[in-house]
Amino acid sequence: MRFVQFQWRGRVQWGEWLEDEEACLNFAAVSGAPDLRAYLNSAAPRPLTALRAAALARKQLAPRREMRRLAPVFPGAIFGVGCNFRGTFRNQKAPILFLKAPQAIAAHRATVRVPAALREVYAEVELGVVIGRRGALFGYTVVNDVTARDLDQEDVWFSRKSYATFAPVGPWIVTPDAIGDPTRLDLFLDVNGQRRLASNTSEMIFGVKEVVAALRRRLQLMPGDLIMMGCPGLAEKLRPGDVVRMEIAGIGVLENRMAWQRK
C-alpha cells in the first residue's frame, strides 16, 4: 500500500494512492483520524485493510486534480544518521545520531526555499523510515536531507539542516511488504535531468534494525516519527532554479525545485 496526505476541500486528508486511478482513497473520512500520525497514535485504530474496504464501499474518493499534495507524514521528530555509507565511514562503532527540526518538512514537488545568505547548499538522497505503533516499522519513503554546509562543524548539524522546507519527503509512504529487503535498494540523485549520484542501500554501515535499536536505547520512538538513514555522498552544490530528482527503487521519485529567497 502507498499512503499520501493531501489538502482537499479545505481540509487535510490522508489515504491510499491508487495505482491506475485519478483519485486517492480517502481514509480520513472512514478512520476518524485527520492525518496519518493521528491514525498511528489512535488508541484502537482500525486495520488498514478495513479502512480500504470501508472507503471503497462508501466511495470515498478524492480526485487528484482537486487536491494539493502534502508531505505523507507530519513527524513529531526527525532523526538522522551521519556517515552511514561506506564512502563516508569514519570508523565509528555505533550510529552517529542527530535531530532535524520537524518544521523543515516539505512535500513532493514543493519549492525548497533557501535563505539568501546561504551559498553552500546540497541535496542528500536518503531512505526514510516511518515508525508505527509500539515502535514497529510502518513504512518507507524518500527524504531529501537538504543541508547548508556554510555551517560545517559537526556540532551544528541541527542548525544547518533545519531551515524551513529543508526536509522534502515523499512522494508517499510504502508498506514494508511492497519493497522486500530494504538493504538492497538502488538510490539515484539527478539535478536538472543529469545523474549526479548512484548507490545502493547495501552500502549502509548500520541497517534499519540497528539504528532503531540505538534510538530506542536513548528514548521512546513515537508513531509517525521519521528516521533518515544517511546519504551515500554529495553531488556539487545546488543553484537557484535547480530541479532535484531523487529515486529509491521500489519506493518512488521525490522531486523539488530550489529557490533562494531575496535579501
CATH 3.30.70.1140, applies to 78-260:
no
Q: Are 208 and 215 in contact (CB under 8 A)?
A: no
**What pLDDT is stored for residue 154 in this prediction?**
53
User: What is the number of H-type helices and E-type strands within the chain?
Assistant: 5, 19
Return the sign of the alpha-carbon dihedral for residues 25, 208, 125, 228: positive
Cell of 38: 493521528
Cell of 53: 474496504
d(CA 230, CA 245): 17
**What pLDDT is stored for residue 240 in this prediction?**
96
The four Cα atoms 12, 69, 103, 170 give a dihedral, to 10 degrees, of: 130
Amino acid symbol at 105: I
The domain spans of the chain are 2-70, 78-260
Cell of 26: 480517502
Strands 68-70 and 194-200 turn out to be unpaired
> Per-residue pLDDT for the chain (263 aa), expressed as one digit of tens each?
999 999 999 999 999 999 877 999 999 989 999 999 999 999 888 999 999 999 999 999 999 999 999 999 999 999 999 999 987 766 788 999 999 999 999 999 999 999 999 999 999 999 999 999 988 999 999 999 999 988 655 556 888 999 999 999 999 999 999 998 999 999 999 999 999 999 999 999 999 999 999 999 999 999 999 999 999 988 889 999 999 999 999 999 999 999 999 87
Task: Please name the helix (run of DSSP H) or strand (run of DSSP E) that holds residue 53, with its range, or none.
Answer: helix 48-57
